[in-house]
Chains A and B, each alone.
Chain A
Amino acid sequence: MKTIEEINQKIKEGEAVVVTAAEMTQIVQQKGSKTAAQEIDVVTTGTFGAMCSSGAFLNFGHSDPPVKMTKTYLNGVEAYSGLAAVDSYLGATQINQNPDIGLDYGGAHVIEDLIRGKEVELIAEAYGTDCYPLKKIKTYITLDNINQATMINPRNCYQNYAVAVNSTEETLYTYMGTLLPNYGNVTYSSAGELSPLINDPYLETLGVGSRIFLCGTEGYIIGEGTQHFTEADRHKGVPVTPSGTLMLKGDLKKMNPDYVRGGTMPRYGPTLYVGAGVPIPILNEEIALRTAISDEDIKCRIFDYGVPRRSRPVVKETNYKELKSGKIEINGMEVPTSPLSSYKRAALVAEELKKWIEKGDFFLSSPVKMLPNQGQIVKPLNISKPSKMVKDIESKPVIITHPTDPVKEVALKLVENNINHLPVVDSNGRLAGIVTSWDIADAVARGKTKLEEVMTRKVIIAREDESVDIIARRIDKHNISGLPIVDKDSKVKGMITAEDISRLIGKNK
């Protein structure tokens, strides 16, 4: 048994034995947890991943004449300014005001540019008061010439995370990166055995006030993060799905761009890659054993991101050893994997923190309050007006046509029924294609007579149990105007069109 005070005394004397979590796994395997607990004082962890729930409070200082900023834009990215006169919070995922830039340069990029010492344009708007008369300012700031720049990240360092795959037939662009169709690739985010909270699964050594490594400088845990969750299934103590989180604080002015980076998840949006490392004091054998967890023993679940619902179906359970091997087997196929967080930088974070402690530049702090390690659940947001389902759309008689039908007959069907889309079904009643009034016009113009020659065979479809909002997104994404509603046997149940959705929105007002 050791105490944090005793460990700090050893750090002061330059005698503390510090190893990274990856090294600790080997040490405990070779020497056993009892010896390791006696010999090792601190285990350092590290992660360098996309942490969207990040941002910074900035205090710009007062101008002359003074201004009460109500809207602020930094390099075209809006920061929240509904606090006092010259404070604002710049969120990492805020996108650019300029639609031509949009997702390519957002809050995370501004944070990186500030840390790199670059000049950033500040535009502020105000309504003007007796004490703050100015209504608009435009100027340039740098990290050096503003008062404070404090990173406060509401939710970082997820204890384990979901693994993503896509079962649909189209490429998806998500916060888990680009997901190829038909289980084409797998993406994961956790650093595995180096990840901070995985090495202290019951949160026995960290809490409010714990000093940590944050983006190249010292930072602090200021509480449990948002969506902190303690009730997940566990394997060898470690949650197998996303669980505990941390709220972190650090001084932007002292940060190092090697350990923080702005980026954009393609067609999803900006995010901040945060380098964070937590030192774990080895106070007893139990803690030593927990920090020795190996990638193979850290299980996680692969979820199907092709289902855009809150609860996504689990495809299978895996572990980080398998994920890091670069390929994984799903439904008998070998599927390549991509980490989304940098394991190389995570290891650098753990190494750097180790060096700081060995040199006596960094001391451990006792938490002033422990983080909740039980009874914390994540509540869903209930929408007061529940999302309408495709099956809730007023049903109309199903009108269909067949591939061998003459174009003229199909044209008549469209006109008589006053519709623009017709699902084409084969002799077994299964969907074979779709034809629109535009296709018929095309057929007439080019002298084609058979429906087969003009129908579209690759059809974007809707399912009865899908939300109408999802269909609206699909219509927009594929630039189409109607989708056949199809059951699990590919039997056509009807059509849903952009008009149907407009009508539904109109009625619901």
Chain B
Amino acid sequence: MKAWLKFLPSIINKSIISDTMKLYDIDFNILKANITPRGGKMLVDISGPQESESISFMEEKGIEVTPVLKVVKKDSEKCFECGACVSLCPVNAIGIMDNWDIDIDDQKCIGCGFCISSCPTRAISLME
């Protein structure tokens, strides 16, 4: 699952992430991270049989875990397949198909919304 992890300044010195990985043997892929002495946020993709246990553990240790539930959708009436959004997607979720259609992969999309503001016809919006 994809989720935002929020770190308060009080826990940034603790090695919670590596403890979680060691304890629950999960795949832990960092998609985005911005952590400073004042705390921070990390966007991650966690997978493995003990996924939910690992999340409970992180929450116990003080990390605020918010699963990513939103993805972007395009309005095919407004979209004319210019492709301006394609190279802006941080997780390569937007691609150009062989027939030159623009396709958004829900599995990859993290709902960051960067493509929304970049679309010349405002054809992309956030959906639950």
Binding site for B on A (CB under 8 A): 48, 50, 104, 177-178, 180, 185-187, 261-266, 271, 273, 326, 335-345, 347
Contact = CB atoms under 8 A, between A and B. Distances in A.
A339 B117 CA distance: 17
8 A-B pairs with least C-beta separation:
A263-B120, A185-B87, A344-B100, A338-B87, A336-B87, A339-B83, A344-B81, A342-B81
17 contacts: A50-B120, A177-B118, A178-B84, A185-B87, A261-B80, A262-B121, A264-B120, A266-B119, A271-B120, A273-B80, A326-B86, A337-B86, A338-B84, A339-B96, A342-B80, A344-B100, A344-B101
Contact of A261 (B96, B99, B100, B121): B121
Given A178-B118, A265-B120, A340 B84 contact: yes
A187 B81 contact: no
A48 B120 CA distance: 14
A48 B100 CA distance: 13
A326 B92 CA distance: 11
B85 A338 contact: yes
Contact of A273 (B82, B85, B92, B100): B82
A273 B92 CA distance: 26
B100 A178 contact: no
Interface string B58-73: 0000000000000000
A335 B92 CA distance: 12
Contacts of B83: 338-340, 342-343
Nearest to A344: B100
A156 B119 CA distance: 22
Contact-residue size bin, chain B (C-beta under 8 Å from the other chain): 20 to 34
Nearest to B99: A344
A121 B128 CA distance: 36
A342 to B, nearest CB: 5
Contact of B96 (A50, A273, A326): A326
Q: Is the interface of A mostly helix, strand, loop or mixed?
A: strand
Interface of B: 80-88, 92, 95-96, 99-101, 117-122
A340 B119 CA distance: 10
A337 B81 CA distance: 14
B78 to A, nearest CB: 9
Contacts of A180: 87-88
Given A178-B118, A261-B121, A48 B84 contact: no
A261 to B, nearest CB: 6
Given A326-B86, A336-B92, A48 B80 contact: yes
Contacts of A177: 84, 118
B80 A338 contact: no
B98 to A, nearest CB: 11
Contacts of B96: 326, 339
Contacts of B119: 266
A179 to B, nearest CB: 9
A54 to B, nearest CB: 14
Given A264-B120, A341-B82, A187 B100 contact: no
A320 to B, nearest CB: 13
A341 B96 CA distance: 13
Contacts of B85: 338
A185 B82 contact: no
Contacts of A262: 121
Nearest to A336: B87
Nearest to A176: B84
Contacts of B88: 178, 180, 185, 338
